A and B are shown apart, each in its own frame.
Chain A
Amino acid sequence: MTVKDRIVEIIAEQAVLDVSDVTMDSTLEDLGIDSLGLVESIFAIEEAFDIQVPFNANDPTESDFDISSVASIIKAVEDLVKAQS
């Protein structure tokens, strides 16, 4: 499974949606994921890829981890996975 597919799966599960409803340009807000859902998604991503996501819930926009859309999350995770290997 690609990074993209796995992340879409995690986000879909969190949003209680079908994976086909999670489009690349959706924001987490569009998908109905609140702040607790966000930290839970990040936890699931860290578990799935065994990475550390640099995300501080106090100020999400200041984090190095771009959560502005599904596509940006995938890109950020791909970079972290690459940096790790």
Chain B
Amino acid sequence: MKRVVITGAGTINALGKNVPETLEAMREGRCGIGALEFQDVERLSIRIGGQVKDYDPEEKFNRQQISLYDRFTQFTLLAAQEAISQSGLTFTGELAAQSGVVLGTAGGGVSTWDDNYRSVYEDGKNRVHPFVVPKLMNNAAASHVSMAYNLKGPSFTVSTACASSNHAMAQAFQMVRSGMSPVMIAGGSESMLCFGGVKAWEGLRVMSRDACRPFSANRNGMVQGEGAGVFVFEDFEHAKSRGAEILAEVVGFAMTSDAADIVMPSKQGAARAIKGALRDAKLNGSEVGYINAHGTGTAANDRTESAAVADVFGAHADKLMISSTKSMHGHLIGGTGAVELLACIMALRDGVVAPTIGYEEPDPDCALDVVPNEAREANVSVALSNAFAFGGLNAVLALRKV
């Protein structure tokens, strides 16, 4: 078994256009959630989100690229560029042949579906642009990353709703750990902030109209975000031999299925995933200093997640810190675990734990140290990242300071 380290990180999300901007916002507890801006927003009852603002695709891509890149692909390519450039890797020969990219997304090119449905249904047009299919397909982002960086090994897309990125990173981790690939690019992206995307979520009645307040007694739902997070997972020996800078080590993961309900979370399913990740990483629960919570800000998730953490960690549950950065960047659905992994890396590497902002009132059902409203300095040597998806699919990653 190989040790697996992270040697590059990249992102774009409502908090920043790259990793340094995003981490600064997390340190300062800044909120990236605001009024949504897109066509027909006035017909929505939910009008807030963690939208990437001041973003002009034409500054980043040429006309031909834009005709093929949905917004979720654009975000992925920008994050991949930051991550791979930080790693210093170029993919040629045998390295290229064995390296690949595994990304998560729940919806893929949602705004491409939306724009073209609008065009044929509402505007009555009878033809659409020939690239609609290659633009909207869920694997478009992974494929474009493979083409841009000459990654010729295993590449695919994982779609497990809100756990997509964690499942994707878990796959990449396994591939590097098993020796199958020396380097894997992993993460995920999502961009559902368009009329049809938000309208669909409205239907479930789990969205907040004012703020995402995870673990707070007065929380009233989730707020959607958008963006991407991409990482370079590399065999430790490979990274060491080329003198690469190591951001953190990925030490374990677990995935479980509730096999119970299509939307309601299960304490047992979540607890089994957390416990499984500790077992896989050969960790004692007491070593865990920080958990990046799934923490959606819904009544059900936060209560269930808190109970699962209390069950797994026992007395240590009161000593560890657990925060939900969704309060700042919103819920990036299939991309969320990737952006949230940045908070784990910041805790391990910089000794700064990102806060749960918007926290106003303690909830006895979520009686954990949720790092309310202000970031905290702490020496964290092990961090977990939780993701518990609709459909009862759970994936937890364990990281260690290097």
Residue of A nearest to B130 (CB): A39
Could you mark each residue 348-374 of chain B with 1 if its beta carbon is under 8 Å from any beta carbon of chain A, else 0? 000000000000000000000000000
Q: Considering the chains assembled together, what is the distance between the CA atoms of A40 and B66 in angstroms?
A: 13
List A residues 46-78 near B (Cβ within 8 Å): 46-47
Q: Considering the chains assembled together, what is the distance between the CA atoms of A46 and B131 in angstroms?
A: 15
Residue of B nearest to A13 (CB): B63
Could you mark each residue 36-50 of chain A with 1 if its beta carbon is under 8 Å from any beta carbon of chain B, else 0? 100110110011000
Could you mark each residue 111-148 of chain B with 1 if its beta carbon is under 8 Å from any beta carbon of chain A, else 0? 00000000000000001011100000000000000000
Q: Considering the chains assembled together, what is the distance between the CA atoms of A23 and B131 in angstroms?
A: 27
The SS class assigned to the B binding surface is loop
**Interface assignment of B67: CB less than 8 Å from any CB of chain A:** yes
B129 surroundings in chain A (CB, below 8 A): 40, 43
A39 surroundings in chain B (CB, below 8 A): 130
Distance in angstroms from B126 CB to nearest chain A CB is 9
Q: CB distance A40 to B67 under 8 Å?
A: yes
A46 surroundings in chain B (CB, below 8 A): 127
Distance in angstroms from B150 CB to nearest chain A CB is 19
Could you mark each residue 53-69 of chain B with 1 if its beta carbon is under 8 Å from any beta carbon of chain A, else 0? 00000000000000100
Distance in angstroms from A56 CB to nearest chain B CB is 13
Residue of B nearest to A47 (CB): B127
Q: CB distance A43 to B127 under 8 Å?
A: yes
Distance in angstroms from A1 CB to nearest chain B CB is 21
Q: How many residues of A contact B (CB 8 A)?
A: 7
Distance in angstroms from A41 CB to nearest chain B CB is 9
Q: CB distance B131 to A36 under 8 Å?
A: yes
Distance in angstroms from B112 CB to nearest chain A CB is 15
Which has the most chain A C-beta neighbours within 10 Å: B67, B129, B130?
Answer: B130
The SS class assigned to the A binding surface is helix
Q: How many residues of B contact A (CB 8 A)?
A: 5
Distance in angstroms from B282 CB to nearest chain A CB is 49
Q: CB distance A40 to B127 under 8 Å?
A: no
Q: Considering the chains assembled together, what is the distance between the CA atoms of A43 and B131 in angstroms?
A: 10
Distance in angstroms from A6 CB to nearest chain B CB is 17
Residue of B nearest to A38 (CB): B130
Residue of A nearest to B62 (CB): A16
A40 surroundings in chain B (CB, below 8 A): 67, 129-131
Distance in angstroms from A76 CB to nearest chain B CB is 18
A47 surroundings in chain B (CB, below 8 A): 127
Q: Considering the chains assembled together, what is the distance between the CA atoms of A43 and B129 in angstroms?
A: 7
Residue of A nearest to B67 (CB): A40
Q: Considering the chains assembled together, what is the distance between the CA atoms of A40 and B127 in angstroms?
A: 12
B131 surroundings in chain A (CB, below 8 A): 36, 40
B127 surroundings in chain A (CB, below 8 A): 43, 46-47
Q: Considering the chains assembled together, what is the distance between the CA atoms of A47 and B67 in angstroms?
A: 16
Q: Considering the chains assembled together, what is the distance between the CA atoms of A39 and B132 in angstroms?
A: 12
Residue of A nearest to B126 (CB): A52
List A residues 1-49 near B (Cβ within 8 Å): 36, 39-40, 42-43, 46-47
Q: Considering the chains assembled together, what is the distance between the CA atoms of A39 and B67 in angstroms?
A: 13
Could you mark each residue 95-115 of chain B with 1 if its beta carbon is under 8 Å from any beta carbon of chain A, else 0? 000000000000000000000
Q: Considering the chains assembled together, what is the distance between the CA atoms of A47 and B129 in angstroms?
A: 10
Distance in angstroms from B275 CB to nearest chain A CB is 49
Q: Considering the chains assembled together, what is the distance between the CA atoms of A46 and B128 in angstroms?
A: 10
Q: Considering the chains assembled together, what is the distance between the CA atoms of A51 and B185 in angstroms?
A: 45
Q: Considering the chains assembled together, what is the distance between the CA atoms of A42 and B127 in angstroms?
A: 11
Distance in angstroms from B10 CB to nearest chain A CB is 28
Distance in angstroms from A65 CB to nearest chain B CB is 15
Distance in angstroms from B180 CB to nearest chain A CB is 32
Q: Considering the chains assembled together, what is the distance between the CA atoms of A36 and B67 in angstroms?
A: 11
Residue of A nearest to B128 (CB): A43
Q: Considering the chains assembled together, what is the distance between the CA atoms of A47 and B130 in angstroms?
A: 12
B130 surroundings in chain A (CB, below 8 A): 36, 39-40, 42-43
Residue of A nearest to B125 (CB): A47
Q: Considering the chains assembled together, what is the distance between the CA atoms of A84 and B350 in angstroms?
A: 69
List B residues 164-213 near A (Cβ within 8 Å): none
12 A-B pairs within 8 Å (CB atoms) are namely A36-B130, A36-B131, A39-B130, A40-B67, A40-B130, A40-B131, A42-B130, A43-B127, A43-B129, A43-B130, A46-B127, A47-B127
Q: A39-B130, A43-B127, A47-B127 are in contact. List 5 more A-B contacts (CB 8 A).
A: A36-B130, A36-B131, A40-B130, A43-B130, A46-B127
The 8 A-B pairs with the shortest beta carbon distances in the complex, nearest first, are: A39-B130, A43-B130, A40-B130, A46-B127, A43-B129, A43-B127, A40-B131, A40-B67
